[in-house]
Structure 1
Amino acid sequence: MHRVAFVVYPGFELLDMSGPVSVFTSANRALGLSEKPAFYAIDLVSVSGGPVTSSSGIAVHTQSLEDRAHEAVDTLLVAGAESENLLPILADPAWAAWLPKLTGKARRFGSVCSGAIILARLGLLDGHRVATHWDACTPLAAAFPPVSVDPDSLYVVDGRLWTSAGVTTGIDMALAMVAQDLSADIAGEVAKRLVLYARRPGYQSQFSPLLQAQVKADSPFADLIAWILANLAAPLEVPALADRAGLSERTFHRRFVAATGETPARFVETARLDAARMLLCRGISLKSVAAEVGLSPAARFSEAFERRFGIAPRLFREMHAAF
């Protein structure tokens, strides 16, 4: 059994823990359906042990850090929390006494969301590239200069260190762990059982183009954006989009920028390239990807992809096609 220990504390974000736990326990179930033994065992750990109440008011039963530090751990993950719940933890000397001992023994360790701040405070992230919640990226980078903060990725793997961005990205990271430990097929079965929209790779941005537009209060272009994302292979020039929105080109351009923070052309290219990365991960040919996302011919697609991501799409496919 591979023991996965989740470190929690009063006021922790419940989904930071429960989301990944569901992934690991679902992996056990998938193995059981194939008459294979369970692979993961889950432990919840806190400074003093006993019941610990999350920010949502739900309490979980935990072991103490001191007791757990004397036992083997395969994977250790620290949950995140809002800043007001993190501050008391950062001042508690028990973390410095026991958490480094646990991480030192673990095959891999890391954090979900703002849990990275706890690891950074203990010097466990120095010299590493990490992900954290978008709202914590700037404070983390400012407070801990030896840490390289990646503000874009859903999760980052740097040697033994695994860190994820905000809340639900812990699920994405846990799925990647399952794929590494067991197989991509098992990870896919887990994602299907949890009714996830898609398994998201670590390099994907914390905000999809659609979500970026939706967070702008009641975006008037939500329906148009949904149509764009469903019709990437179609001609998506500004005049056609303006006509579909029932606006003049000038008015459409001005209102679209105000609603999304991007020009229509930039938004369309972002949506196409995001979709292209997902298709490349499936090993699809450049010519087919270019056609599917509306960036034919392949040379045009390659130029746009390399300009945006700094890597040729062919090399990207070779690096990520196994995901």
Structure 2
Amino acid sequence: MKTPNHVAILAFDGVQVLDVTGPAAVFAAANDAAGQPCYRIHILSAHGGLVTSNSGVALQTQALSSTAPAGIDTVLVAGGSADGLQALACDDKARDWTTQASARARRYGSVCSGALVLAAWGLVRGKRVATHWEATELLGRHADLQVDADALYVEDGRVWTSAGVTTGIDMCLALVARDLGDGVANAIARRLVLYARRPGYQSQFSPMLTAQARAESGFSSLLDWVREHLAEPLDVERLAERAGMSPRHFHRRFTEAFGATPARFVETLRLDAARQLLAAQVPLKEIAARTGYANPGQFSKAFVRRFGISPGLFRETQGASHTA
């Protein structure tokens, strides 16, 4: 980049602090990783000065009037408390500035429940958008948009929206990768000590997280064990033995606890792991072996049955820009 791209993050009283600091940290780290000032970050609010986040941490902001909307490359509206979002949505100054900036910006969007403000301002009409899972029903009341209740983040034309809190980091890593390449984005992920760069298609709730939330104490250790042994045979008999139950009793208890049979649950974990391996460009033969399928053909059939596309097509459309 010959000159820095200006990134504006809109904050307000009641803002979720990580919705601001997470994206800001990514863009700041990009400057360090690239060895040049690629981004200039503006933390803005309607009137400037200190705004108090919903966790009590105060953030120093610049007034919207201090920054010309025509010069902004990327505009992001943070999420936060219901009262804070409502006040922001009713702020004419914030609406007018953001509308002008978004009309000229290369891209704009939101982090977490900030999508509710964009919707109230009519800036995501006809778009597919993501938001925090707790806000999906409320956002869905806007008939002029499509809510993706599952994705970590969504790109629809110039509009980028993310789900809850830390997913703003994932989305901004994708923005940096688009600008500066995967090498810089991966360097940032390492600097921020992230476990992995998560692609947008990944669910807000991984199968393991969902299962752990539902698990009875008797199944908690079993879930961890299954995740570490996906390459091995995992039939009901083996799982029941591990849980210290008869196969019939185990099958009934497990299905009641998770709303899925043991076989369905194991397949879900295997295919979720396979998606990550596909995005990382791991060969199909190795993916099949590491996820418990006898051969690539068997794996491909299971993948198509679950997701409706072949592993090859999935890799083609998702893998190139999401390597970890």
| TM-score (normalizing by structure 2) | 0.94
User: Which one of 220, 223, 248 corresponds to residue 222 of structure 1?
Assistant: 220
What does 1:136-215 align with in structure 2 at a 5 Å threshold? 136-141=135-140, 143-215=141-213
Query: Residue deviations 1:52-91, cap 9 Å, x none?
Result: 1111111112122233244511111111013233222222
Is the CA contact (8 Å cut-off) linking 2:89 and 2:95 kept in structure 1? no
What does 1:79-94 align with in structure 2 at a 5 Å threshold? 79-94=78-93
Q: Where does residue 16 of structure 2 map in the other structure? A: 13
Q: Residues of 1 paired with 2:68 and 2:214: CA distance?
A: 45
Query: Residue deviations 1:132-153, cap 9 Å, x none?
Result: 1111112211x20111111111
What does 1:274-293 align with in structure 2 at a 5 Å threshold? 274-293=272-291
User: Which one of 289, 301, 307 corresponds to residue 309 of structure 1?
Assistant: 307
Greater mean alpha carbon deviation, residues 7-16 or residues 224-233: 224-233
Is the CA contact (8 Å cut-off) linking 1:256 and 1:264 kept in structure 2? yes
SS at structure 2 position matched to 1:215:
helix
Q: Residues of 2 paired with 1:104 and 1:261: CA distance?
A: 46
Matched, 1:24 2:22: no
Is the CA contact (8 Å cut-off) linking 2:70 and 2:105 kept in structure 1? no
% same residue? 53
SS at structure 1 position matched to 2:189:
helix
Is the CA contact (8 Å cut-off) linking 1:12 and 1:85 kept in structure 2? yes
Matched, 1:112 2:115: no
Matched, 1:320 2:280: no
Is the CA contact (8 Å cut-off) linking 2:19 and 2:168 kept in structure 1? yes
Query: Residue deviations 1:163-196, cap 9 Å, x none?
Result: 0001111111111111111111111111111111
Is the CA contact (8 Å cut-off) linking 1:24 and 1:178 kept in structure 2? yes
Q: Residues of 2 paired with 1:198 and 1:278: CA distance?
A: 10
Q: Residues of 2 paired with 1:88 and 1:307: CA distance?
A: 46
Is the CA contact (8 Å cut-off) linking 2:130 and 2:149 kept in structure 1? yes
| TM-score (normalizing by structure 1) | 0.94
Q: Residues of 2 paired with 1:189 and 1:258: CA distance?
A: 43
Q: 1:289 to 1:250 in 2, by over 3 A?
A: same
Q: Residues of 1 paired with 2:277 and 2:214: CA distance?
A: 28
Q: 1:240 to 1:281 in 2, by over 3 A?
A: same
Q: Where does residue 44 of structure 2 map in the other structure? A: 45
SS at structure 2 position matched to 1:114:
helix
Q: 1:218 to 1:91 in 2, by over 3 A?
A: farther
Q: Residues of 2 paired with 1:219 and 1:68: CA distance?
A: 54
Q: 1:16 to 1:218 in 2, by over 3 A?
A: farther
Q: Residues of 1 paired with 2:90 and 2:130: CA distance?
A: 23
Is the CA contact (8 Å cut-off) linking 2:9 and 2:43 kept in structure 1? yes
Shift in Å, 1:282: 1.8
Query: Residue deviations 1:90-128, cap 9 Å, x none?
Result: 222223322101111211110011000000111111111
Q: Residues of 2 paired with 1:220 and 1:7: CA distance?
A: 45
Total equivalences in the alignment: 318
Is the CA contact (8 Å cut-off) linking 1:46 and 1:64 kept in structure 2? yes
Greater mean alpha carbon deviation, residues 296-305 or residues 86-95: 86-95
Q: Residues of 1 paired with 2:217 and 2:64: CA distance?
A: 47
SS at structure 2 position matched to 1:86:
helix
Q: Where does residue 249 of structure 2 map in the other structure? A: 251
Q: Which amino acid aligns with 1:125?
A: V
Q: Which amino acid aligns with 2:267?
A: E
Q: Residues of 2 paired with 1:80 and 1:91: CA distance?
A: 15
Question: Mind listing any 5+ residue stretches in structure 1 that lack a counterpart?
Answer: none
Q: Residues of 2 paired with 1:217 and 1:309: CA distance?
A: 25
Is the CA contact (8 Å cut-off) linking 2:7 and 2:74 kept in structure 1? yes
Q: Which amino acid aligns with 1:297?
A: N
Is the CA contact (8 Å cut-off) linking 1:213 and 1:219 kept in structure 2? no
Is the CA contact (8 Å cut-off) linking 2:218 and 2:243 kept in structure 1? no
Shift in Å, 1:312: 1.0
